[in-house]
Chain A
Amino acid sequence: GAVVSQHPSRVICKSGTSVKIECRSLDFQATTMFWYRQFPKQSLMLMATSNEGSKATYEQGVEKDKFLINHASLTLSTLTVTSAHPEDSSFYICSAIELGQGLLPPYEQYFGPGTRLTVT
């Protein structure tokens, strides 16, 4: 089955530093990757949609200069949290849609295991 990995799984950083999270599709090519954020006991909130070779589309209220997304290849997207602050501490999850599969139901997206970011 389709596997999506994220690295690192857990990261602690100091306030003001930047952190990069990688999302990789291991056995398929992904035209589209989504980045979500989940707060405790809250739903997954879509942050941005990333298409290979083009700029990411950010959801309303998400600062694109703070959350830098790069989708350089069909198997890798990165999320960089710049100048992190304690309020950025959260669980970040990516998902990927397989090339040619996402335009029709079930619009299946494969989720990574998530990255727990703690900013001290």
Chain B
Amino acid sequence: DQQVKQNSPSLSVQEGRISILNCDYTNSMFDYFLWYKKYPAEGPTFLISISSIKDKNEDGRFTVFLNKSAKHLSLHIVPSQPGDSAVYFCAASESGNQFYFGTGTSLTVIP
């Protein structure tokens, strides 16, 4: 049973505009959420994270929003750049024990 879901397998955005990637989870015990970026033939790299005690975390062009009541988080990238084109995975964890990954969203930023 997939505990973390990314329902959009792909997303295309014009350069300079905002990219919004969504993620839903089912386990209310998850207390930490992470976003990873992955290029083809490479392993994922950590992008940004958020604790369940927060509803927003910002790092430069990247902002993650958490809605605990809806069990939903989103990653906003603004402005989007062509180099942001990659697959983005969200992951959830309960106190750092095991990490459950979503299926990924392939983002294409069009120049």
- Measured between alpha carbons, how far is A43 from B9 in the docked complex, in Å? 11
Are A105 and B96 interface neighbours, CB within 8 A?
yes
User: Does A100 touch B at the CB level, under 8 Å?
Assistant: no
- What residues on A are CB-neighbors of B98 within 8 Å? 46, 49
User: Does A108 touch B at the CB level, under 8 Å?
Assistant: yes
- Measured between alpha carbons, how far is A116 from B51 in the docked complex, in Å? 33
Contacts A46-B98, A114-B42 given: A106-B89 contact, CB under 8 Å? no
Are B96 and A44 interface neighbours, CB within 8 A?
no
- Measured between alpha carbons, how far is A112 from B42 in the docked complex, in Å? 7
Contact-size category for B: 20 to 34
Q: Determine the main DSSP class of B at the interface with A.
A: strand
Are B43 and A111 interface neighbours, CB within 8 A?
yes
Contacts A93-B43, A111-B43, A113-B42 given: A106-B32 contact, CB under 8 Å? yes
- Checking B2, B41, B45 against A111 with a beta-carbon cut-off of 8 angstroms, the contacting residue is B45
Are B46 and A108 interface neighbours, CB within 8 A?
yes
Contacts A41-B9, A113-B41, A114-B43 given: A106-B34 contact, CB under 8 Å? yes
- Measured between alpha carbons, how far is A103 from B96 in the docked complex, in Å? 7
Are B89 and A43 interface neighbours, CB within 8 A?
yes
- Measured between alpha carbons, how far is A93 from B100 in the docked complex, in Å? 14
- Measured between alpha carbons, how far is A44 from B2 in the docked complex, in Å? 11
**Residue in A46, A105, A116 with the greatest tally of chain B CB atoms within 10 Å:** A105
**Residue in A44, A46, A109 with the greatest tally of chain B CB atoms within 10 Å:** A44
Q: How far is the CB of B86 from chain A (nearest CB, A)?
A: 13
Q: How far is the CB of A78 from chain B (nearest CB, A)?
A: 17
Are A113 and B43 interface neighbours, CB within 8 A?
yes
Are B45 and A43 interface neighbours, CB within 8 A?
no
User: Does B103 touch A at the CB level, under 8 Å?
Assistant: yes
Give residues 51-100 of B contacting A (CB, 8 Å). 51, 89, 93, 96, 98-100
B residues contacting A by CB (< 8 A) are 2, 4, 9, 32, 34, 36, 41-46, 49, 51, 89, 93, 96, 98-104
A residues contacting B by CB (< 8 A) are 4, 6, 9, 34, 36, 41-46, 49, 93, 95, 102-114, 116
Known: A41-B104, A43-B4, A46-B99. 6 other contacts (CB 8 A): A6-B43, A43-B104, A106-B49, A107-B34, A112-B43, A113-B43
